[in-house]
Structure 1
């Protein structure tokens, strides 16, 4: 578990953690068909933190569902060189009848770890998200922020595989902090960065919040309005990003970058509204 980001990057191969080439996703058939994604190209490198940004309905969550294996592309190619991705949603979705530590142990149990191994790893993960000593509490006894910490620990537990430990870990996050108050959101963003820098898992993070994307992501990918495809990328300087054929730019001033991305997002939304 205690693998630094730098150590992880030294072990990276040239292959992507996940790659989508010309992916099209259509829901429904005939006159009722809706094209959610149209020719989407996206690569996430091992250990890279990518924020996926766009207007409501542009296909961000569809991308996560495809990468997670919950949906299949209508056409195009999706290649994943990871263990089965772990997913974290806006709702912590903890089992209310289980204690905190048992919630974290659940994916480890499904992965075939022994009882002793599960308890050891779950305890370590709760310590990692600063919930040491809270393992006997049930979800209703925790604050919203604490429940999301448990959900993060459980997601990290889900990346552990007895028979697949050499493969890259991938964490998919669908607006996990959107329902929290501003102060709690700020704290959990810090915690996520701390955990990410320690473990070095690849992260694909969906958000509507430009400031959140600039704060967290090493690379920010903007999708067009439906049907979604990549229209712009920015490298924040938080981390080295991968090369891309999409229009891209780099900046190191967070305020200037936030303004630039916000302006481009408004253009995308305006174009959609004018159709």
Structure 2
């Protein structure tokens, strides 16, 4: 088996990320666990794609491969970004830095000058509607506010500090730990920010309603070993999202029950 990982910048090859025949095996011999097998997936620049599946189906593993945190066992991963940004369930802010300095961090690591990175960080905090909280440290912010700071920091990383829009944002169930009201609010905010920034998003969730609300396209993974079993285009003319929610829920239950009987 062969595996390739290709990271490009501004090549305009038509995809923000593309996986072709990707498999991932952990361990060796009889103890080996196959997490993913034969995954084909393409995300266009500026597209919002939701990766849906039951717990343990390999969603996070796939995201780690795209992020460059791991390598596939076989297949090819092509990413049109030298450094896609990742957002997790926990905001992982540095507690000794205030909000604006947390957002500045990826710009500072990229060598962006002080005045330019402060201007960009301030712009992004305004974008996530936290302009008045720039000097507050994480412990002074609510859970939802901390996630918005984390989102601003991720957006700073996608642009590499040059002020350009676009890039690739990988989101691993970023709202799962929040209460229902805060989660609903942040889903709406994410939609607004995505439209404003034209960032390609690959969003992982096991929540069907969240997937249908956010995504232009929903991709369903089978239970382990994960592979793509179905896709839905939610932007298609005449698409009824309530009906699609029921259809996708039924297909997800079928995938789970099939795995349980195996």
TM-score, normalised by the number of residues in structure 1 = 0.88
Task: Return the offset for 1:253.
Answer: 1.2
Q: Which residue of 1 aligns with 2:6?
A: none
- The aligned counterpart of 2:227 is 229
Alpha-carbon distance between aligned partners in 1 of 2:137 and 2:164, rounded to the nearest angstrom: 30
In structure 1, how many angstroms separate the alpha carbons of the residues matched to 2:18 and 2:43? 6
Q: Which among 163, 185, 188 is matched to residue 187 of structure 1? A: 185
Q: Does 1:205 align with 2:203?
A: yes
Alpha-carbon spacing, 1:162–1:141, altered in 2? closer, same or farther (3 Å): closer
Report the 3-state secondary structure (helix = DSSP H, G, I; strand = E; otherwise coil) of the residue aligned with 2:131.
coil
Alignment size in residue pairs:
253
Three-state SS of the structure 2 residue aligned to 1:159 is: helix
Unaligned runs of 5+ in 2: 1-9
Match for 1:257 among 236, 244, 261? 244
**Moved beyond 3 Å, runs of 4+:** 11-14, 162-166
Distance 2:162 2:73 in 1: 30
1:76 is aligned to: 75
Q: Superposition pairs for residues 1-275 of structure 1, below 5 Å?
A: 13=12, 15-161=14-160, 169-237=167-235, 252-275=239-262
**What's the counterpart of residue 245 of structure 1?**
none
Task: Go from structure 1 to structure 2 and tell me whether the alpha carbon gap of 1:133 and 1:162 turns closer, same or farther (over 3 Å shift).
Answer: closer
Structure 1: distance between partners of 2:164 and 2:91: 26
Separation of aligned partners in 1, 2:200 and 2:133: 27
- Any conservation in 1 of the 2:107–2:161 contact (CA below 8 Å)? no
Q: Is the 8 A contact 2:18 2:40 kept in 1?
A: yes
For 1:51 and 1:12, the matched residues in 2 are separated by 24
Tell me the CA shift for residue 162 of structure 1: 5.7
- Contact 1:23 / 1:74 at 8 angstroms: preserved in 2? yes
Question: CA-to-partner distance for each residue in 1:194-253, whole Å, 9 max, x for gaps?
Answer: 00001111000000110000000000000001001100000112xx7xxxxxxxxx8621
Equivalents in 1 of 2:76, 2:240: separation in Å? 35
Structure 1 residues 271, 143: closer, same or farther in 2, change over 3 A?
Answer: same
* Cα shift at 1:83: 3.6
Q: C-alpha separation between the residues in 1 aligned to 2:99 and 2:155?
A: 14
Unmatched tracts of structure 1, length 5 or more: 1-10, 241-249
- Give the C-alpha shift of residue 161 in structure 1: 2.2
Task: Supply the distance in 2 between the matched residues of 1:201 and 1:176 (Cα, whole angstroms).
Answer: 16
